[in-house]
Structure 1
Amino acid sequence: MNKFYKRYFSKLIITLFLLSFIAILSCKIEYIKKKRGYSLFIEFSNAHGIKKGTHIYFRGIQIGSIKNIYMKVNSVIVVAYINSLNILIPKNSLVETNQTGLFNDTIIDIVPLKIVDSKLFDINIFSSSCLKSNFLCNHHYLKGYRGLNYDDLIRAATRISQRFDDPRFFSLFYIFLQNNIDISDEFLDILNTASNFLYIFLFLIKKYFITYLN
């Protein structure tokens, strides 16, 4: 009798263990499916500070990162991984690099250029029907552009400072100020003459009304 109970108990333990394992495995598979994402190829004329792990933002929210970078003869192609299949990106979107933070970290911003009908959101990224939709599909190819860059701002500020150090600039600036001063003097003379005429005109009108009333 004891042997029967031991066998029954052993089978029960094994069954419970298998059921627990199957449940955990199912939850893990479901979790992996939910966390599954898709990839996009983005071409830039220059890396602009992009590297592996560079964050990708859509409407100000981080949605993925750069997984690989390939250098071509005339361009740089990066592989962008989007973290979730539920993140749909309109095809009519602007992709550009921007620099943020104290250390000028480079990020990639994806900015949609128009509003897409919310009724069209039930789309399978991996299906052939996605190609006819208004959204980017898996392994879609995009063209990226250079956005805000602090190096350009520093370069522009340097050029402006160099212009101020140029004697020709000061010579032209002096001529410009002198012409403005001359024009201002002539304008003041015209205003003074006009005010004199106005004073004489008002004086004559006043004299006329006094004579008419008398």
Structure 2
Amino acid sequence: MRGINIGYVDKIQVKYNYVLIKVNINLSSILIPKNSLVETSQTGLLNDTVIDITPLQIINNQDVEKFSVFTKSCVKSIFLCHYDYIRGERGLNYDDLVRAATRISQRFDDPMLFQLASMLLQNTINISNEFIEVTDNVANITILIYDYLYKLFFN
């Protein structure tokens, strides 16, 4: 939780529409809010599976004092109780990363993409050259108008 190892995966059951994971928390003093984001992720080169638990609310000290996950009053609390369930989501994994990298590399391997990029750059250069020419002409016209007005009013 929050990047700290607080327990371990005890059992995994694969069902048709979901995966049920039993997690053992090391200490009963570790409280997990019911309003938490739970994701499974893969880390390391050996694809170690990790369950990330991120609390989505701020917990006050008064909520935590003398609280036990084993009492009957725990059911009405904001924390998960002993043997509670929480729905999780699939997080990031290396398979998704490899698929995404493959898709990106295939798109960059397309010769049409490089042709379009080359045309875009060439057109940008042409537009900037035209802009420089127009700016230069406007500057020349401004100088001519200035000279004409100077001669008209001061001569």
Q: Does 1:119 align with 2:62?
A: yes
State the superposition RMSD in angstroms: 2.4
5+ residue gaps, structure 1: 1-57
Secondary structure at the aligned position of 2:5 is classed as: strand
Q: Which residue number corresponds to residue 3 of structure 1? A: none
**Does 132-141 or 151-160 show the bigger shift?**
151-160
Bigger helix share: 1
Q: Structure 1: how far apart are the matches of 2:11 and 2:42?
A: 20
Q: Which residue number corresponds to residue 101 of structure 1? A: 44
For the pair shown, the structure with the greater C-alpha radius of gyration is: 1
Q: Aligned-pair distance for 1:61? A: 1.4
Which amino acid letter does the alignment assign opposite residue 79 of structure 1? K
Q: Which residue number corresponds to residue 177 of structure 1? A: 121
Q: Aligned-pair distance for 1:133? A: 1.1
Alignment map for 1:159-178 (pairs within 5 Å)? 159-178=103-122
Secondary structure at the aligned position of 1:183 is classed as: helix
Q: Aligned-pair distance for 1:66? A: 0.7
Aligned length: 154
Q: Which residue number corresponds to residue 147 of structure 1? A: 91
Q: Does 1:67 align with 2:13?
A: no
Q: Structure 2: how far apart are the matches of 1:101 and 1:113?
A: 26
With over 3 angstroms needed to count, the CA separation of the structure-2 counterparts of 1:200 and 1:90, relative to structure 1, is farther
Candidates 74, 77, 83, aligned match of 1:133: 77
Q: Structure 1: how far apart are the matches of 2:120 and 2:131?
A: 16
Q: Structure 1: how far apart are the matches of 2:146 and 2:48?
A: 70
Q: Aligned-pair distance for 1:202? A: 4.9
Write the deviation string for residues 92-112 of structure 1: whole angstroms up to 9, x where unpaired: 111112333343422111111
Q: Structure 2: how far apart are the matches of 1:113 and 1:107?
A: 19
Q: Structure 2: how far apart are the matches of 1:153 and 1:196?
A: 57
5+ residue gaps, structure 2: none
What's the TM-score once normalised by structure 2's chain length?
Answer: 0.83
Secondary structure at the aligned position of 1:178 is classed as: helix
Alignment map for 1:1-214 (pairs within 5 Å)? 58-121=1-64, 122-203=66-147, 207=150, 211=154
Q: Structure 2: how far apart are the matches of 1:101 and 1:204?
A: 76
Write the deviation string for residues 30-57 of structure 1: whole angstroms up to 9, x where unpaired: xxxxxxxxxxxxxxxxxxxxxxxxxxxx
Q: Aligned-pair distance for 1:168? A: 2.5
